[in-house]
Amino acid sequence: MSLSRRALLATTPLLLAARPVPAADPVATAPAVAASATAAAGPVRLIANENPYGASERALEAVRAALAEAWQYPVGREATLKRLIAEREGVAPEQVMIGDGSGEILRVAALAWARTGGGVVAARPTFDFLPSYARLLGAPVTEVPLDAAMRHDLPAMAAAVSASTALVYVCNPNNPTGTLVPGREIRPFVSEVSRRAPVLVDEAYLDLWDDAGEHTCADRVRAGEPVIVTRTFSKLHGLAGLRIGYAIAPVEIIRRLQPLRMSLLNTAGIAAATASYQDLDYQALSRRRLKEALAVTRAALADVGWPATDTRGNFVFFDTGRPVGEFAAAMRAEGFLVGRPFAPYETWCRVSIGTLPQMKGFAAALRRYAARRAEAAA
Ligand SMILES: Cc1ncc(COP(=O)(O)O)c(C=O)c1O
């Protein structure tokens, strides 16, 4: 299936529909699944790395309360969220920037450094939001292929940084491969490279796992290096539609980025993110749900013998052995939307991890497809 993410976003109302979740499943019937359970029937979205269980009840309550003040401009409303993030990260509130999703911050960073012609160094494939925007601004983007394990090739990236490099983008864990460069490797890289150009480390998926502290580059920010770490409320917190993400960085970098933002934040999103950030139980529940549904998916891939990356995202990247459009069309016919091709891995597919019932359904569809292929080959 060749539906691009952009085209998908343009048709969101159609695709927002998720399959109703069977009421008998104990995980699925936990309170926060209510939103997806009441959505109309339609294809299951295993395509945009969302959290299909949705927001926590505390976040939803905060949104309901915030709606009473929806008539006010949300100026300064993010102060509490900034303070909470600063406290947890061990930085000053002035070192925190809240964005309209972390995607806005990625683009603001491109605007800050790439608009004057400086180059961007990034992996290929990686999350393209920042590199594609830099290209639009006229900046050259040096794409560094992943290594044999489909991880960022740090020595090659360091070698690609030159005097004309304005910004280095590292996505850890990487999207679409899900591969993680461990903290002990990425931190020395970031320290060395940031002496030559600022480094943005996109940690959108890092907090989906319990050991995020071991791998984050936040300590490089605390050390005062020219490093920006971005995170999001769209994944772990299930708030993709309310558009809140954040960056931590040295104050002078935040001062450079902040004026380039396009608009104000939204009241509902800030309220939801502030509540969700403090709801550690819900964050732990999100992690458990992801692990469970990922295990079902991995087991099916192991059964059919398809290689898959050791993912640290809420998605899995695996080799279907044939042009990925073929598998995507078969899954579409079974009611599942899966990822587009990510060059140069034309036979690999990225599947976002849905609810446990959804992934059981997907695993069954995948096994059926593999069996049909085996039969045809016999
Ligand atoms: C690696 C990565 N970074 C950033 C984002 C943007 O997330 P948001 O703008 O919702 O915070 C995404 C979204 O899929 C992503 O995969």
Lowest mean pLDDT among 22-26, 85-89, 106-110: 22-26
Nearest residue (by CA) to ligand 1, atom 3, is 204
User: Does the pLDDT of residue 16 top 50, yes or no?
Assistant: no
Residue-range domain boundaries for the chain = 5-55+280-377, 61-278
Q: Which residue carries 């069954």 as its tokens? A: 364
Backbone angles phi, psi at 168, to 5 degrees: -115, 130
* Contacts for 142 with CB less than 8 Å, ≥ 6 apart: 119, 120, 121, 122, 160, 165
- Which of 83-87, 99-103, 148-152, 374-378 has the lowest average pLDDT? 374-378
Pocket test for ligand 1, best of 4, 175, 263 (most atoms within 8 A of CB): 175
Closest to 166 (Cα-Cα) out of 132, 148, 142, 147 = 142
With a 6 Å cutoff on the Cβ, whether 240 touches ligand 1 is yes
Confidence of residue 34 (pLDDT cuts 50, 70, 90): very low
> Cα(306) to centroid of ligand 1, in Å?
27
Q: How many percent of the chain have pLDDT more than 70?
A: 89
Position 255 confidence tier, pLDDT thresholds 50, 70, 90: very high
pLDDT of residue 86: 98
Q: Is 257 in the pocket of ligand 1 (CB under 6 A)?
A: no
- pLDDT of 117 reads 84
Alpha-carbon torsion angle 323, 326, 327, 329, nearest 10: 140
For the residues 301-309, what does the mean pLDDT come to? 97
The residue type of 157 is: M
| CA 170 to centroid of ligand 1, rounded, Å | 13
The residue whose C-alpha atom lies closest to atom 6 belonging to ligand 1 is: 103
What class is the 61-278 domain? alpha beta
Peptide bond into 74 cis (omega under 30): no
Supply the Cα-derived Rg of the chain in whole angstroms. 20
Atom of ligand 1 nearest to the CA of 49: 14
CATH architecture for residues 5-55+280-377: Alpha-Beta Complex (3.90)
| pLDDT beyond 80 at 328 | yes
Q: Who's near 207: CB < 8 A, 6+ residues apart?
A: 231, 235, 236, 283
Whether 127 is in the pocket of ligand 1, judged by its Cβ within 6 Å, is: yes
Q: What is the pLDDT of residues 133-166, one digit of tens each?
A: 999 999 999 999 999 999 999 999 999 999 999 9
Query: Mean of the per-residue pLDDT values for the chain?
Result: 90
Are domains 5-55+280-377 and 61-278 of this chain identical in fold?
Answer: no
For a pocket test of ligand 1, which of 232, 236, 316, 317 has the largest count of ligand atoms closer than 8 A to its C-beta? 232
Is residue 40 very low, low, confident or very high in pLDDT (cuts 50, 70, 90)?
Answer: low
- pLDDT for position 12: 32
Structure-token pair, residue 305: 């013998």
User: Measured between alpha carbons, how far is residue 45 from residues 305, 329, 330 in Å?
Assistant: 24, 14, 15
Q: What is the mean pLDDT of residues 310-317?
A: 97
| pLDDT for residue 24 | 35
Peptide bond into 188 cis (omega under 30): no
What pLDDT is recorded for position 3? 35
What pLDDT score was predicted for residue 32? 40
Question: Does position 352 have pLDDT exceeding 80, yes or no?
Answer: yes
For 91-107, what is each residue's pLDDT tens digit?
999 999 999 999 999 99
- pLDDT at residue 9 in the model: 35
Cβ 234 under 6 angstroms from ligand 1: yes
Is the CB of 49 inside a 6 Å radius of any atom of ligand 1? yes
Phi, psi of 348 (to 5 degrees): -95, 150
| Nearest atom (ligand 1) to Cα of 103 | 9
| Residue 298 confidence (pLDDT) above 80 | yes
Q: What is the mean pLDDT of residues 31-52?
A: 70
Q: For residue 314, give the DSSP letter.
A: S
